[in-house]
């Protein structure tokens, strides 16, 4: 019987819930006893605990008792103790954080040559939008696109092009886990990524083989 991949959200805001669901994953929530129930996630998929940090460590230590949770995702606005526990799970012994190229490295990867100098006088640089994503085992979930005030999207096809450009870039650099913000220039010939940086979104795998 098919079981969708289950993602435990520690900061279950509406955008993150929607991004998880749109990708075909099953959102779950973890909340502290006495806190309000998260909106958008049914009670049967909500884990309630007095000690969220310990619960995370217990889930990672015993996958057979982990409610079938495969991944944990959190923004940077949760409890410090919970973030510390999640960082430990996300990295683990001998592992390092994701590598993201700086602008010069990104241009080299894309075969664009050195970083160009200032635009010539009278030439307006292309407007840039910012695309926020979170990657879960190589699946890139779109959290949102911030369009520049001077340049709103020209239709669904352009929005789809920006999304696909970012996902292809993340695949190209082998990004597997964690949040990113990608700057995409809206040029006359199509969207071009011009920068990428990590965000405070953390992701940990609790699937088979991740016991600590």
Tens of pLDDT, residues 167-178: 999 999 999 999
**Closest to 165 measured CA to CA, from 212, 203, 129, 201:** 129
Q: Considering only CA atoms, which of 125, 127, 75, 106 is closest in space to residue 173?
A: 106
- The residue ranges of every structural domain in the chain are 6-96, 103-198
CA distances (Å), origin 15, targets 22, 143, 145, 183: 10, 6, 11, 19
Angle between helix axes 52-61 and 80-91 (nearest 10 degrees) is 20
pLDDT for 207 equals 62
Q: Which residue did the predictor score with more confidence, 3 or 85? A: 85
Count CB atoms within 10 A of the CB of residue 142: 19
- Do the Cβ atoms of 128 and 184 come closer than 8 Å? yes
CATH of 103-198, one of 3.30.470.20, 3.10.20.30, 1.20.58.1610, 3.40.640.10: 3.30.470.20
pLDDT band at 180 (very low <50, low <70, confident <90, very high): very high
Q: Tell me what the mean pLDDT of segment 145-160 comes to.
A: 90
How far is 133 from 125, CA to CA, in rounded Å?
Answer: 25
pLDDT in the model for residue 210:
45
pLDDT 10s digits, 58-116: 888 865 555 789 999 998 888 899 988 888 887 766 667 788 999 999 999 999 888 87
Domain 6-96: which CATH number of 3.30.920, 3.30.1460, 3.40.50, 3.30.70: 3.40.50
- Read off the pTM: 0.88
- Phi (first) and psi of residue 15, to 5 degrees: -65, -40
User: What percent of the chain is modeled with pLDDT above 90?
Assistant: 51
* 83, 64 Cβ separation under 8 angstroms: no
Identify the helix (H) or strand (E) that includes residue 162.
helix 156-172
pLDDT band per the 50, 70, 90 thresholds, residue 205: confident
State how far the alpha carbon of 175 is from the alpha carbons of 78, 136, 166, in Å: 24, 9, 11
């Amino acid at each position: 019987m098919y079981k969708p991949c289950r993602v435990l959200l520690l900061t279950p805001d509406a955008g993150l819930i929607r991004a998880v669901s749109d990708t075909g994953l099953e959102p779950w929530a973890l909340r502290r006893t006495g806190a309000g129930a998260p909106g958008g996630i049914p009670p049967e998929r909500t884990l309630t605990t007095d000690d969220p940090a310990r619960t995370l460590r217990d889930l990672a230590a015993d996958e057979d008792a982990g409610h079938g949770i495969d991944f944990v995702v959190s923004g940077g606005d949760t409890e410090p103790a919970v973030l510390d526990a999640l960082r430990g799970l996300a990295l683990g012994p001998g592992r390092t954080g994701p590598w993201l190229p700086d602008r010069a490295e990104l241009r080299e990867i894309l075969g664009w040559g050195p970083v160009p100098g200032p635009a010539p006088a009278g030439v307006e640089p292309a407007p840039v939008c910012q695309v926020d994503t979170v990657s879960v085992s190589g699946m890139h979930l779109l959290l949102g696109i911030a369009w520049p005030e001077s340049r709103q999207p020209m239709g669904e096809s352009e929005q789809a092009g920006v999304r696909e450009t970012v996902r292809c870039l993340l695949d190209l650099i082998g990004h597997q886990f964690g949040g990113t913000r990608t700057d995409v220039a809206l040029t006359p010939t199509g969207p071009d990524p011009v920068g990428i940086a990590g965000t405070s979104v953390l992701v940990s795998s609790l699937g088979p083989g991740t016991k600590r």
